């Protein structure tokens, strides 16, 4: 797994893949899903069975893993994994050029 420093050095497409991998792993764990189960990226967090409390726990875990702050508004205004992933890869994590940072 890439750490937060590694993520900042990746190109935008690589960063998005890495963020998606982290989100997938953490949300599967939070939803008690195994690897064989498909994680619906377009489905609302609450439709997946998450509570506000569990979502905040996952937010804190993601902030620790990615070494960044995630606004709670993002979770409620863009309440699915696809939107969260896009937001994290393009807005929250710095170094948004298409080329890796040196």
pLDDT-above-70 percentage for the chain: 84
Q: Which two tokens stand for residue 34?
A: 């195994």
The answer to whether the CB of 22 falls within 8 A of the CB of 1 is: yes
User: What is the average pLDDT across 71-91?
Assistant: 86
Tell me the average pLDDT across 84-93: 81
The pTM assigned to this predicted structure is 0.78
Q: In the predicted model, is pLDDT for residue 102 greater than 60? A: no
Q: How confident is the model at residue 96 (pLDDT cuts 50, 70, 90)?
A: very low
* Distances 5 to 14, 18, 46, 48, 100 between C-alpha atoms, Å: 13, 12, 31, 31, 12
Read off the pLDDT of residues 2-35 as tens digits, 9 standing for 90 and up: 555 677 677 777 888 888 899 999 999 999 998 8
């Amino acid at each position: 797994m890439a750490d937060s420093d590694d993520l900042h050095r990746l190109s935008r497409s690589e960063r998005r893949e890495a963020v998606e991998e982290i989100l997938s792993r953490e949300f599967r764990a939070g939803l008690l899903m195994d690897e064989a189960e498909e994680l619906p990226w377009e489905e609302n967090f609450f439709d997946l069975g998450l509570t506000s409390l569990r979502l905040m726990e996952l937010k804190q875990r993601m902030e620790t893993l990615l070494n960044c702050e995630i606004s709670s508004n993002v979770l409620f205004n863009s309440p699915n994994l696809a939107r969260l992933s896009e937001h994290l890869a393009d807005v929250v994590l710095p170094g948004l050029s298409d080329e890796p940072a040196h």
